[in-house]
């Protein structure tokens, strides 16, 4: 079993590097091509049809780089475009929602799960559907948190303003009695420390990036697509527009090492 082709990973911006970090830690022999659509971020406020069109374009760009699998490192795209991508492309397609939902169901003790994400992810009800497909009796409390991504992208990961916004968003979920919280946006793992600090009680955080990486590992094994060691695994990062300061924030916070970032204009 040795397939040295890269795993293709894409996101609406740079937040999906949390998934790349989890993949690098779990699958060090796999090369990864990451594509961030910095020209059109954010996807959260956009219509489902627009997000689907963008997703097909980005997936096509990764397929031209000979990707052996497509990882949708974006909750918004995962919530509205996975079936379309699976039908359109011949390689396996994995999103972040199903793995996150499975992990949340394993973690919860009182069957009451909270979900936070962008407006588009919460509006889609994708996590509720995925959770209830396995356990129809699970309670789900969801909350859109539109200001968290801008705060993260400004690098305010350890800041009183961010802590106040986290508490403002999470207070209703905590009052509802959740015991498990799904971080339903790939930016949010960068706030895991702040959320744990602010919540200050026993809430299990479910990191969709980590669980997505485990789902990719299972798929590569199941379909005999793993790269055999020793493989000179590379990480290529391409963006559709010039990066702002958040690329440095993500690189530093995630301790990711990659070379020059390629500018990949949209077709």
Distance CA 48, CA 45 (A): 9
The beta strands (E) that lie in 80-230 are given as 93-94, 112-117, 139-144, 180-184, 204-207
Residue among 27, 84, 91, 82 nearest 63 (CA)? 91
- Tell me the catalytic residues: 74, 185
| Helix or strand holding residue 249 (H, E) | helix 246-254
Partner residues linked to 218 by β-bridges:
none
Contact criterion met (CB below 8 Å) for 179 and 185: no
Contact 114, 169 (CB under 8 A): no
Nearest to 32 by CA among 197, 213, 222: 213
Supply angle C-alpha 217, 140, 77, rounded to 5: 50
Distance (Å, rounded) from C-alpha 82 to C-alpha 130?
A: 13
Do the beta carbons of residue 1 and residue 228 sit within 8 Å?
yes
Pairwise CA distance, residues 162 & 203, whole Å: 19
């Amino acid at each position: 079993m040795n397939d040295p082709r890269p795993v293709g990973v894409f996101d609406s911006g740079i937040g999906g590097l949390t998934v790349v970090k989890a993949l690098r830690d779990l699958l060090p022999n796999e090369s990864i091509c990451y594509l961030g659509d910095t020209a059109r971020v954010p996807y959260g406020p956009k219509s489902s049809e627009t997000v689907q069109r963008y997703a097909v374009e980005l997936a096509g760009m990764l397929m031209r780089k000979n990707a052996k699998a497509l990882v949708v490192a974006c909750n918004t795209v995962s919530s509205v475009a996975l079936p379309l991508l699976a039908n359109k492309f011949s390689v396996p397609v994995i999103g972040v929602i199903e793995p996150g939902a499975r992990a949340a169901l394993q973690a919860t003790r009182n069957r009451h799960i909270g979900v936070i994400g962008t407006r588009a992810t919460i509006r889609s009800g994708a996590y509720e559907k995925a959770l209830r497909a396995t356990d129809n009796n699970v309670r789900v409390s969801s909350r859109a948190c539109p200001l968290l991504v801008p705060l993260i992208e400004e690098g305010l990961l350890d800041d009183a303003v961010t802590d106040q916004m986290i508490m403002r968003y999470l207070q209703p979920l905590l009052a509802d009695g959740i015991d498990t919280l799904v971080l339903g946006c790939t930016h949010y793992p960068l706030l895991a420390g702040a959320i744990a600090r602010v919540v200050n009680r026993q809430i299990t955080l479910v990191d969709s990036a980590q669980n997505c990486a485990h789902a990719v590992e299972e798929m590569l094994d199941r379909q005999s697509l793993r790269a055999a060691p020793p493989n000179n695994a590379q990480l290529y990062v391409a963006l559709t527009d010039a990066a702002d300061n958040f690329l440095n924030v993500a690189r530093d916070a995630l301790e990711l090492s990659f070379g020059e970032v390629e500018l990949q204009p949209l077709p």
